[in-house]
Chains A and B, each alone.
Chain A
Amino acid sequence: MLLAPDHITEEGEFIINMGPQHPATHGVLHLKIWLDGETIKKIEPQLGYIHRSIEKMCESLSYRQFIYVTSRMDYLSAHMNNQACALAVEKGLQIEATPRAQAIRVLLGELTRLSSHLLWWASTGLDLGGITPFFYAFRERETINTILEETCGTRLTQNFIVPGGVMYDIHPDFQKKVKDLIKQFRANYHEYDEILTGNVIFQNRLKGVGYISKEDAISYGCTGPTARASGISCDIRKLAPYDGYDKLKFDEVILSGGDCWARYQVRMAEIIQSLNILEQLIDNIPEGDFLAKTKNVVKLNKGDIYQRVETARGELGVYIVSDGAATPYRCKFRSPNFSNLSAIPHIAKGAKIGDLMAIMATVDLVIPDIDR
């Protein structure tokens, strides 16, 4: 942490900078913090260090191309970002992906969610002072990434979705390996609870810290696990089901604690729900084509399209305005992290500087998704 040049205000408050290069911000996030002793008086996020103007870029890319730029927004939910764009284009064309493609999308999406939650769990432990969780979480995450690599060819930014379906069929070993993963995960899950969840020091760092009420969470536009920990029902998979989520049985995890501990518990419970979804679907992938027939040049009718998808961090909205040409006239991504970040100055007000790490860790920000 570096002292700003004008680091003491007239009221005797200390101004410090956290980031842009700070291990606990998980990326190039810069927070300007006003401190009274150790108590946070005010936070002002300074953004733009990784701004690439993806929305402007999309205006010159075709409806087939712009899908893949979005992998670089929330890179831990890359598959779901692609899914949102493809669904938006499909909505404009009034077609649907084939049943087989929908099942593959959901399976890969839930694998991505698991891998994202595992990285979050690992880094939460790391942020709060324990390095061991990293090794435990990466054991399972490595298995997931290998499965993704075999089918998609890449481990992180899958780029596997095209309008109307997916690019290729699944790898012949896919089903067997996912079943093995579910078995391995369920057998190892108690270790996660033993090493971190049940740890008294860890619990004390989270319980009662970083509280946000239901009304404030709605007003700040929080979504995803951050909002569900405050008692808001906002899972898009339930609210506006897509790609066959309405046929699957799973629970939306809602807690009312509103603090870091509740946010931690929501994500841990979501891991189990994702495993349930995988289990239901893995033996029931419909036969048939994995790609519906579409025209080579995709053109959408004049008008607006809004498509929502639940990523690992919350609600991603893709808003496309078409003027009838082969490229979007305007493309807006309503990213979950952008709105969740806007709540952090409110959550952290009055907290101690050491607790800011716990707040940042449990809100689980991915910075490229904020800056876009």
Chain B
Amino acid sequence: MNAEELKHKVTELCPRATYDETGEFLTTLIAAPDLLPVMQQLAKDNELHFDFLFCLTCIDWKDHFMMVYHLRSTDLNHCLVVKAKITDTTNPEIESVNDIWRTAEFHEDEVYDMFGVKFLNHPNLRRLFLEADWNGFPLRKNYTDENMIKL
């Protein structure tokens, strides 16, 4: 499926989605509460069939967090980037997608560890790399540590 067809199909699933076509893959921006139903459809739909989540990460834009999901279909061979905006920076929360793609469990643990984004309905949300009592979330832009060296 090419970018135009993908766009058409995703608009059917989520009418409020906006698009960005400047990058290599078609990027769609959806609201955080819409995320789980849209993702379920993207994976289940026979014409889309996004069965492979190859990258899951988060970006701290200071006034909001942006979750980024890179999806690929292994049999139809098309890619889509889904972005979801989290506006609450003090207590960021979003639905977990680990029921759809099992790989999300570890990736979400990592995002929780580094950004402090809480994933709802995650089976075992824990700090993956840092100790459980670590203060702060290192990949946030406002993170400081007494041992940090400024380059």
Contact = CB atoms under 8 A, between A and B. Distances in A.
Interface stretch (A1-9, A20-28, A158-166, A232-240): A232-240
B74 A303 contact: no
A317 B55 contact: yes
B102 interface: yes
**Max chain B Cβ within 10 angstroms of own Cβ: one of A56, A232, A306, A315:** A306
Contacts of B102: 216, 219-221, 342, 346
Interface in A101-142: none
Given A221-B103, A234-B74, A346-B102, A330 B151 contact: no
Given A221-B101, A304-B23, A306-B70, A315 B130 contact: no
A91 B23 CA distance: 10
B23 A342 contact: no
A48 B68 CA distance: 23
A305 B68 CA distance: 12
A218 B106 contact: no
Contact of B106 (A216, A303, A305, A341): A341
A233 B57 CA distance: 24
B142 to A, nearest CB: 13
B52 interface: yes
Contact of A342 (B27, B57, B106): B106
Given A216-B102, A341-B106, A315 B54 contact: yes
Interface stretch (A195-203, A243-251, A261-269, A332-340): A332-340
B129 A51 contact: yes
Contacts of A270: none
B125 interface: no
A8 to B, nearest CB: 21
B95 interface: no
Contacts of A233: 74
Contact of A47 (B57, B129, B150): B129
Given A53-B138, A220-B102, A306-B24, 11 more contacts: A51-B130, A55-B139, A219-B51, A221-B54, A221-B101, A306-B25, A306-B81, A315-B54, A319-B68, A319-B70, A330-B57
